[in-house]
Chain A
Amino acid sequence: MDDVTTLPDRTEKKLGLVIDLDICVGCHACVVNCKEWNTGGYGAPLSDVDPYGDDPSGAWLNRIHTFEVTPEDAPAQIVHFPKSCLHCEDAPCVTVCPTGASYKRRDDGIVLVAEDLCIGCGLCAWACPYGAREMDPVEKVMKKCTLCVDRIYNENLQEEDRVPACVRTCPANARHFGDFADPDSDVSRMTRDRGGIDLMPEMATKPVNKYLPPREKTNPNAPTPSRGGEYESADGFLGWLDRMLEKL
């Protein structure tokens, strides 16, 4: 296999996102802010065709999917699931690329598309098990999450703003950015503490991004904890009231 299609053996850093499904309310803030940053940023703009017409569509680097979960013994619930490139360690989109346009950066592990090499064949999107790549409808080059590579090192931004746009904007603080190669980073710690999971681990892509699962919900049938009747009284509420007033 030509070396343009190989993945680095290892990367210095493993930059990626932790996405907390316990707090994502599905508001699409990350989706739209990603679009507005990236349409004027790295690579071709994220175009929209027929934007005011019968069938508007465009390229987005991040989308929210909504699932309904129906447990047997509890009410159905909704899970909002933001999805963008997971910057896999074994990224099949890279190895499948016939021109070397798709690559994984050795320093930080970000998977990028060198658009001048991209011929728009779409093989990478086909290879990606997550559906995380979208062809730009105008330029016909493959677009994908860059982890805001033009923000996270950008010296024109204040240091605190050198995070992906989706992380910077998320109103629910459901998105966290950091280095998974560092076991002490916030993202590594969060992943450990909350049982962060790989998306579709059976695909053996070793995604860098992790998802924190929703915490367990209270079942409406959960029993009322016994309170030992500290507020109950034989003479009823008004009798209780007398005693409360005496204490004042």
Chain B
Amino acid sequence: MTDREPIIDTSPMVSDEVRKTTCYMCACRCGIDVHIRKGADGQEKIRYIEGNRDHPVNRGVLCAKGSAGIMQHYSPARLTQPLKRVGRRGEGKFEPISWDEALDLATSWLSEIRRTDPKKLAFFTGRDQSQSFTGWWAQQFGTPNFAAHGGFCSVNMATAGIYTFGGAFWEFGQPDWEKTELFIIFGVAEDHDSNPIKLGLSRLKERGVKVIGVNPVRTGYNAIADEWVGITPGTDGLFVLSLIHEILKRGAVDVDYLLRYTNAAWLVIDAPDDPDHGLFARDSKESALVADRESGDILGYDRRNAKPALKGAYTLPDGRTARPAFELLARKYLASEYDPEATERTTGVSANQTRRIAAEIIEAAFEREVIVEQPWTDLKGERHERMIGRPVSFHAMRGISAHSNGFQSCRAIHLLQILIGSIDAPGGFRFKPPYPRPVNGQPRPHGGNTPEAPLSGPHLGFLRGPDDLLLEDDGITPQRIDKAFSWDAPMSAHGLMHMVISNAHARDPYGIDLLFLYMANMSWNSSMNTSAVMDMLSDTDQNGNYIIPKIIYSDAYSSEMVAFADLVLPDTTYLERHDAISLLDRPISEPDCVSDAIRWPVLKPDRDVRGFQSVLIDLGARLKLPGLINQDGSAKFTDYADYIVHHERKPGVGPLSSWRGDGTQTGRGPANPEQMDRYIENGGFSETPVPEEARYFKHANRAWHDFAVKMGLQDQPVENVFQLYLEPLQKFRLSAEGKQKPVAPESHRSRILATFDPLPLWYPPFEETAVDPAKFPYHALTQRPAAMYHSWGSQNAWLRQIHGKNVMYVPGEICEREGLKDGDWAYINSAHGTIKVPVQRMDAVNGRTLWTWNAIGKRKGAWALSDNAPETTEGFLLNHLIHELLPPKGDGLRWSNSDPITGQAAWFDLRVSIEKAEAGDQMVEPLFEPQESPVSKGSKVIAFGKEWTT
């Protein structure tokens, strides 16, 4: 149509206004530009959401989830008003009530508990992005029972990292994408963090840098990795120790780095009968000792000009023998059990592949040294003319952490990073402010239970040894309902949310009065053993009273958990609320800039809903909690936004770091009533560059510490000696041997001795040793789809067209053995249960591993979906197969299916068998009674944006 080509408008109006805020479609916290345009009815609507080009996290890009924000915001599953239960728990029958009534009710329940026995409140906040506030609120309330979802997410990563070097992957640090020469990613399908890793991988591809993916399943990042290591689940730690074996054998360690920045030279007492065997030798000031390798003198480790030995036996002033930690390390990992030939059968990684990858690490680290011509001065005052880097970087997440050996596996990865000298060296792993923050810059855990009084400090922290456990006077009984910081899970820095309902139902260690949950779908995909948890939530005692007497739940959407609440507090969507993405919380900084951000109501709620944090502010004032009321008893803050701007955690340091005081102060400064406006003007975030001299070796860099103090990130330089040898673990072993007080209970001793090795070790995941491997020969696990965040995506009209149902992917060899083909249905059995699911063959997977997408299955009646939505008939959860407890050992105890050190939920330890299901109704099992929906069903047709089309 040469002459009659239509004339079209190529410059249509896009929007009336762009409002910049922070995404909440997953946990990345990307910056978004929300295009607002008036609709046909004159009301403001979202025309389009795109990534904010200026934002440090996503630099303009946006993933599928973020791009589907429109459908989340307008979801029919949005709760519309406060609800009070009128039916049975789990039925979903409610009556709407006013906010006044809801808050009066909540206040009456909470005030009675606070007056009598604060621990009877269990307040757990799920995928909360305001933990520094919700935790502080719980601290003011005085219950010891607070945590968010880290215990069932990735606490092994965070804890192993903090204990080892004062950082961790993702929020506390990231690969040096611009300078690394080799990148190895462990146990990550796609997420954590989503866009930044994709941006980084893309940069590596541009630069021609090799990417190695270690994952049983070759999807997502592993699909584009240049090399795939199809490891057997739960054996990554052994694979890494085998790599360490190789690099030690070949002498490829950065000795100078070890001497400067680690405890490699610290002397470990070698006196097997003594109560301090295996601890560091210390002087009278508790300073660790080293031996001078020339004079043999025993010196304080921080003595200048010392030449510390890394091997040998030395006599301490008290006459006993001690050896440098590094010698213990080298002897341990040079043993033949870590030889790649010895590990290949367990890991499924050939000796050849392990050796070659070790060689590639060595080559990149030591032959492609990266030099940044930037002089810097270390904390000891020594001037360095340049920054020398070992350009090998790593990232790891769920696949490492969600095992009962995850803490030690993660420690093994960090050991490898440190041995080659790559932590915060150019090309390696880079700390992101406010990190590094080693254990000696972290709080200890705080417990307590005094009526009408706050806790003396934050709930969650890092214990230094058994003395810091939160136990009752008997030295055994946990103080906390989730048994965090008890002998069951001593270093549980994020709590054990996955054990709360189970323990409360068993009244072990005690019963509670009120379960108060925020944004955690604990009656469905966020709990192990989902069917039983639903029963626990609705179970009654002999008098017909609920065993968990009261449940308050806050969520924005009609999730499965709503049906079990007695009182529902409807939250806003992420576009209708204030939030602080704070340095006091889970930061979003980049290595070269300190960043924080806000959310603000870019649209006004059209329902009778309130931001949960503002509701907590209100409840706090009604309860007269310290810090939430003025001296005259009036409310201190009008709402969460007011708190964000005016709260000071310590003088001059509040939730947001920029535009403080008169608007020119950064980091420290008095509250500025206009601070929120300044953030909005700046696109919803702030960015303060880290000085050039402070950008690497932050753990030891004087300029970094000066900057961090100036910014209020810390109050003085915090010494950060990387802990190759982790002494707190040895303290637990001594307690387990009865040599140190408090003495570990008999029941826990063998487990502590077997797993609390101060040098990382590998042991088989607990479930594997608890079940018959012949009966349950396969592994089964889930992966997060790139286009879904937990259960949230299923209410989303667009995302559910991508992942509306899931199948069990079964390796080809298992299909052949079991006679399965695509479209068949099969029973998957574990020691705990059976599910019936559709199957599909897949070959790009470890041959002994079945897998599926996580959290696709839904309960009928939830999320405003139709009763026969594919999410309910074909979508399924693996959770039914995973028990929150290990199979009984006959000792009368309930052992959590968790890492013994941190309490991390061991989702991925699951062992299963598979058998073909007879042809029949093609419907997943188990199925549950539908819950009644407190919201109406969505529209039959969506033609979003019709009013603006051109």
B111 to chain A, nearest CB (A): 40
Cα-based distance from A235 to B14 in the complex (angstroms)? 72
* Neighbouring A residues of B66 by C-beta, 8 Å: 29
Does A200 count as interface, using CB distance less than 8 angstroms? no
Cβ-defined partner of A220 (8 Å) among B62, B219, B229, B795: B229
B388 to chain A, nearest CB (A): 14
Cα-based distance from A214 to B866 in the complex (angstroms)? 41
B227 touches A171 (CB 8 A): no
Cβ-defined partner of B949 (8 Å) among A3, A44, A227: A44
The verdict on A51 contacting B942 (CB below 8 Å), with A56-B804, A237-B330 known, is: yes
A223 to chain B, nearest CB (A): 7
The verdict on A25 contacting B67 (CB below 8 Å), with A173-B202, A240-B251 known, is: no
B786 touches A78 (CB 8 A): no
B293 touches A22 (CB 8 A): no
Cα-based distance from A233 to B250 in the complex (angstroms)? 8
Cβ-defined partner of B250 (8 Å) among A41, A51, A231: A231
Cβ-defined partner of B227 (8 Å) among A36, A76, A218: A218
A36 touches B48 (CB 8 A): yes
Cα-based distance from A139 to B210 in the complex (angstroms)? 48
A79 touches B62 (CB 8 A): no
Does A24 count as interface, using CB distance less than 8 angstroms? yes
B251 touches A237 (CB 8 A): yes
B861 to chain A, nearest CB (A): 12
Cβ-defined partner of B12 (8 Å) among A35, A50, A150: A150
B439 to chain A, nearest CB (A): 28
Q: What mask results when residues 50 to 64 of chain B are scored 1 for a CB within 8 Å of chain A, else 0?
A: 110100001011111
* Neighbouring A residues of B4 by C-beta, 8 Å: 3-4, 100
Does B944 count as interface, using CB distance less than 8 angstroms? yes
Cβ-defined partner of A245 (8 Å) among B60, B310, B797: B310
* Minimum CB distance partner of B204 in chain A: A23
* Neighbouring A residues of B64 by C-beta, 8 Å: 27-29, 31-33
Cβ-defined partner of A45 (8 Å) among B53, B202, B945: B945
Q: What mask results when residues 112 to 126 of chain A are scored 1 for a CB within 8 Å of chain B, else 0?
A: 101000000000000
Does A185 count as interface, using CB distance less than 8 angstroms? no
The verdict on A154 contacting B12 (CB below 8 Å), with A40-B949, A54-B870 known, is: yes
B58 touches A77 (CB 8 A): no
Does B8 count as interface, using CB distance less than 8 angstroms? yes
B198 touches A47 (CB 8 A): no
* Neighbouring A residues of B726 by C-beta, 8 Å: none
B199 touches A79 (CB 8 A): no
A48 touches B941 (CB 8 A): yes
Cβ-defined partner of B311 (8 Å) among A4, A29, A238: A238
A154 touches B10 (CB 8 A): yes
* Minimum CB distance partner of B310 in chain A: A241
Does B832 count as interface, using CB distance less than 8 angstroms? no
The verdict on A25 contacting B198 (CB below 8 Å), with A32-B67, A220-B350 known, is: yes
Cα-based distance from A159 to B62 in the complex (angstroms)? 19
Does A129 count as interface, using CB distance less than 8 angstroms? no
* Neighbouring A residues of B352 by C-beta, 8 Å: 220-221, 223-224
Does A75 count as interface, using CB distance less than 8 angstroms? yes
B941 touches A138 (CB 8 A): yes
Cβ-defined partner of A78 (8 Å) among B223, B787, B864, B942: B223
B61 touches A244 (CB 8 A): no
Among A221-235, those with CB < 8 Å from B are: 221-225, 227, 231-233
Q: Count A/B pairs, Cβ under 8 Å.
A: 313
A45 touches B944 (CB 8 A): yes
* Neighbouring A residues of B334 by C-beta, 8 Å: 237
Among B749-805, those with CB < 8 Å from A are: 786-787, 795, 797-802, 804
The verdict on A170 contacting B61 (CB below 8 Å), with A36-B68, A44-B946, A114-B6 known, is: yes
Among A121-179, those with CB < 8 Å from B are: 138-139, 149-150, 152-157, 160, 165, 168-174
B931 to chain A, nearest CB (A): 16
Among B38-92, those with CB < 8 Å from A are: 47-51, 53, 58, 60-68, 70, 76
Does B359 count as interface, using CB distance less than 8 angstroms? yes
Does A49 count as interface, using CB distance less than 8 angstroms? yes
B159 to chain A, nearest CB (A): 28
B198 to chain A, nearest CB (A): 4
Cα-based distance from A76 to B847 in the complex (angstroms)? 11
B10 touches A153 (CB 8 A): yes
B250 touches A232 (CB 8 A): yes
* Neighbouring A residues of B942 by C-beta, 8 Å: 47-48, 51, 58
* Neighbouring B residues of A160 by C-beta, 8 Å: 53
A32 touches B798 (CB 8 A): yes
- Report how many residues on chain A are interfacial, defined by Cβ distance under 8 Å: 95
Does B865 count as interface, using CB distance less than 8 angstroms? yes
* Neighbouring B residues of A225 by C-beta, 8 Å: 356, 359, 363
Does B221 count as interface, using CB distance less than 8 angstroms? yes
Does B895 count as interface, using CB distance less than 8 angstroms? no
* Minimum CB distance partner of B947 in chain A: A40
Among B847-864, those with CB < 8 Å from A are: 864
Among B248-263, those with CB < 8 Å from A are: 248-252, 255-256, 259
The verdict on A217 contacting B48 (CB below 8 Å), with A42-B950, A224-B355 known, is: no
B785 to chain A, nearest CB (A): 9
Binds A, one of B421-429, B467-475, B577-585, B932-940: B932-940
Does A13 count as interface, using CB distance less than 8 angstroms? no
Does B875 count as interface, using CB distance less than 8 angstroms? no
- Which of B63, B76, B221 has its CB near the most chain A CB atoms (within 10 A)? B63
* Neighbouring B residues of A214 by C-beta, 8 Å: 224
Among A39-68, those with CB < 8 Å from B are: 39-45, 47-58, 60, 68
Among A195-234, those with CB < 8 Å from B are: 214-215, 217-218, 220-225, 227, 231-233
Does B205 count as interface, using CB distance less than 8 angstroms? yes
* Minimum CB distance partner of B864 in chain A: A52
A25 touches B311 (CB 8 A): no
Cα-based distance from A56 to B798 in the complex (angstroms)? 9
Cβ-defined partner of A150 (8 Å) among B9, B356, B799, B941: B9
Does B362 count as interface, using CB distance less than 8 angstroms? yes
Cα-based distance from A24 to B362 in the complex (angstroms)? 29
A53 touches B866 (CB 8 A): yes
* Minimum CB distance partner of A154 in chain B: B11
B945 touches A40 (CB 8 A): yes
Cα-based distance from A39 to B70 in the complex (angstroms)? 11
* Neighbouring A residues of B801 by C-beta, 8 Å: 48, 56-58, 60
Does A98 count as interface, using CB distance less than 8 angstroms? no
A45 touches B938 (CB 8 A): no
A227 touches B198 (CB 8 A): no
Cα-based distance from A61 to B311 in the complex (angstroms)? 65
* Neighbouring B residues of A36 by C-beta, 8 Å: 48-49, 67-68, 70, 798
The verdict on A171 contacting B356 (CB below 8 Å), with A50-B940, A52-B797, A155-B11 known, is: no
* Neighbouring B residues of A58 by C-beta, 8 Å: 797-798, 801, 942
A80 touches B223 (CB 8 A): yes
B844 touches A78 (CB 8 A): yes
Does B1 count as interface, using CB distance less than 8 angstroms? yes
Cβ-defined partner of A77 (8 Å) among B210, B218, B939: B218
Cα-based distance from A80 to B798 in the complex (angstroms)? 19
* Minimum CB distance partner of A156 in chain B: B14
- Which of A28, A155, A245 has its CB near the most chain B CB atoms (within 10 A)? A28
**What are 11 A-B pairs with beta-carbon distances under 8 A?**
A4-B1, A25-B221, A28-B63, A40-B948, A50-B941, A51-B941, A58-B942, A76-B218, A78-B219, A80-B223, A172-B199
- Taking A40-B945, A224-B356 as known contacts, 7 extra A-B pairs with beta carbons closer than 8 A to each other, sorted by chain A number, are A4-B1, A4-B4, A28-B787, A48-B942, A56-B800, A165-B50, A241-B251
The 10 A-B residue pairs whose C-beta atoms are closest, nearest first, are A40-B945, A76-B843, A51-B797, A52-B938, A27-B786, A171-B198, A28-B64, A218-B227, A231-B250, A153-B10
